[in-house]
Structure 1
Amino acid sequence: MAAEQQVVSLREELICPVCLDIFTDPVSLQCGHNFCRSCITQCWERDGRTSCPECRAEFADRTLIVNWALSSLAEKTQTLNLNQKVKESKLQCEKHQEELKLFCETDKKLICVICRDAREHRDHRFIPIEEAVENYKAQMKSSMESLTKKNSEIQEMEQLQKTKISGVREQSHSLQSHITSHFNKKRQILAEEEQRLLKDLGEAEIN
């Protein structure tokens, strides 16, 4: 069991976060996250921006660094067929000690062939474990793509709001400068008028 857990743990380290499969031609981004070369280039083409799908960090160029260590591990994993060994590891039903080969879609649980014929699973819908894995894998990928898209939309909205706020601030500063200039001119005119009237008054008193 410990060996099986180590195999699963190792395989998880070799999974691309985009395609959810073992790395193929793994590359590292400037932020340190790793992806299949084809996966990250497709993401960039689809999103129209050079950013990391994991941390959303954006880069000035499309620099991709080949991760030789991951590439070597991925190749060895494929050679040893660890994925197939994990699939062949037999999970047993606690009740009947039979191999769990089916997935009950009604109860959302793994069952054995004896459980399938039990009264509690009567009229339930069953599919092979492999098919259930592929279904959930597709759902996870779709959910990740949806979350990535929503995150991009939120960032675009945030940037738009920042642009609007910056525009409002510029207009406010411009209006403040205009008001200040206008009242300074008014004060100058009033001061000049005051001096003229005082001068006229002084000349009238002399005469």
Structure 2
Amino acid sequence: MASRSEEDLCCPVCQEIFTDPVILSCSHSFCKDCLKRWWKERPTHECPICKRRSSKPEPPLNRALKNLCESFLQERDQRAPEGLCSLHSEKFKLFCLDHQQPVCVVCCASEKHTNHRFRPIDEAAQQHKKELQETLEPLKEKLKICEEVQVKFDQTAKHIKVQARHTERQIKEQFKKLHQFLAEEEEARLAALRE
């Protein structure tokens, strides 16, 4: 059950912690979206609590309340044990298919999840696991092919290096023989010239 301080931070329309709270001239605050929806369904822009008419079509943001709500949510999220809903401290038993997030049974009935589709959390987890496996399989195949190609590339690179060294050795030997032949030929010609 919500504590007294948490109740003070709840919007009177959706009963959830304020999101972008706005303040009316009568000093009542509401979530910006909740107030817009409320006004859309009525001919006049009146306060949902005291019915006093609002002169401003765009009420100002209640910054102090917004900061309070954000601080409260941060603290509560840090305190909330894993596997429990940070809003209602209930165990996650359902998965909202529209928001793609786990929810408790109280969240399921909240306005935030109106007309949403739900699955038991274990069933949703299995489905997500199956989808991940299906996505993972082709990636594993691609990784295997990439590793095989990498091995072939490494072998080819090694072979090219060996071939390059061998060719270099052959070129040096050929030029060494050529130099030797030219030196001998030079010597022979010079000897012949002297004679």
TM-score for the superposition, normalised by structure 2: 0.49
Query: Higher relative contact order at CA 8 Å, sep ≥6: structure 1 or structure 2?
Result: 1
TM-score for the superposition, normalised by structure 1: 0.47
